[in-house]
Homo-oligomer: A and B are copies of this chain.
Amino acid sequence: MQSLSVTLGERAYPIHIGAGLLDDARLYAPHAGSATVAVVSNAVVARLYLERVTRALEQAGVARVATVLVDDGEQAKSWTGLDRVIDGLLAARCGRDSVVVALGGGVIGDLAGFAAAVYQRGIPFIQVPTTLLAQVDSSVGGKTAINHPRGKNMIGAFHQPLAVIADVATLDTLPDRELRAGIAEVIKHGFILDLQFVGWLEENMGRLLARDRATLEHAVRRSCELKAAVVADDERESGRRAILNFGHTFAHAIEAGAGYGEWLHGEAVAAGMVMAAELSVRSGTLRREEADRIRALIVRAGLPAAGPGLAPERYLDLMQVDKKAAGGQVRYVLLDGLGRAALHAGLETRLVRESIAAALR
Whether a CB of chain B sits under 8 angstroms from the CB of A44 is no
- Give the complex CA separation of A119 and B157 in angstroms: 8
Contacts A148-B87, A327-B34 given: A320-B93 contact, CB under 8 Å? yes
What DSSP secondary structure best describes chain A's contact surface? mixed
Determine if A309 is an interface residue (Cβ-Cβ < 8 Å).
no
Which B residue's beta carbon lies closest to that of A35?
B327
In chain A, positions 24-77 with a C-beta closer than 8 Å to chain B are: 34-36
Judge whether B87 and A121 touch: CB under 8 Å.
Answer: no
CB distance from A172 to the nearest CB of B (A): 33
A90-B148, A93-B320, A326-B97 given; A156·B121 CB < 8 A:
yes
Asked whether, in the complex, the Cβ of A321 is within 8 Å of the Cβ of B90, the reply is yes
Beta-carbon contact of A157 and B95 below 8 Å: no
Instruction: State the copy count for this chain.
Output: 2
Query: In the complex, what distance in Å separates the CA atom of A291 from the CA atom of B97?
Result: 32
A157 touches B327 (CB 8 A): no
A150 at the interface (CB under 8 A from B): yes
**Given A83-B79, A87-B148, A118-B118, A96 and B154 contact (CB-CB distance below 8 Å):** no
- Asked if A158 contacts B120 (CB within 8 A), the reply is no
Encoded as 1 (CB less than 8 Å from any B CB) or 0, chain A from 226 to 247 comes to 0000000000110000000000
B95 touches A154 (CB 8 A): no
Q: Which residues of B contact A153 (CB under 8 A)?
A: 121
Q: Mark A94-126, 1 if CB is under 8 A from B, else 0.
A: 011100000000000000001001111110000
Per the bound structure, the CA–CA distance linking A93 and B326 in Å amounts to: 10
A214 at the interface (CB under 8 A from B): no
Contact A323 B95 (CB under 8 A): yes
Residue A189 is within 8 A (CB to CB) of chain B in the complex: no
* Distance of A331 from chain B, by nearest CB (Å): 10
Q: Name A80's closest neighbour in chain B (CB-CB).
A: B79
A86: interface (CB < 8 Å): yes
Residues of B within 8 A of A121 (CB): 143-145, 153, 156-158, 236-237, 323
A155 at the binding interface (Cβ < 8 Å): yes
In the complex, A50 Cα to B83 Cα: how many Å?
Answer: 33
In the complex, A175 has a CB within 8 A of chain B: no
Q: Does A328 contact B (CB under 8 A)?
A: yes
Cβ contacts under 8 Å, A151 to chain B: 90
Q: How far is the CA of A321 from the CA of B98 in the complex (A)?
A: 13
Within 8 A of B (CB), among A297-347: 320-321, 323-328
Q: Complex: how many Å from CA A324 to CA B95?
A: 7
Query: Cβ of A323 and Cβ of B120 under 8 Å apart?
Result: yes
| Contact (A118, B323) CB under 8 Å given A83-B79, A87-B148, A93-B328 | no
B155 touches A119 (CB 8 A): yes
Q: Known A143-B121, A236-B122, A321-B90; judge A326-B95 contact (CB<8 A).
A: yes
- Counting from the closest, the 3 A-B pairs by CB-CB distance are A120-B323, A90-B150, A121-B156
25 contacts between A and B (CB under 8 A): A36-B327, A79-B79, A86-B148, A86-B155, A87-B148, A90-B150, A90-B151, A93-B320, A93-B321, A95-B326, A96-B326, A117-B157, A118-B155, A119-B155, A120-B155, A120-B156, A121-B144, A121-B145, A121-B153, A121-B156, A121-B157, A121-B158, A121-B236, A122-B157, A122-B236
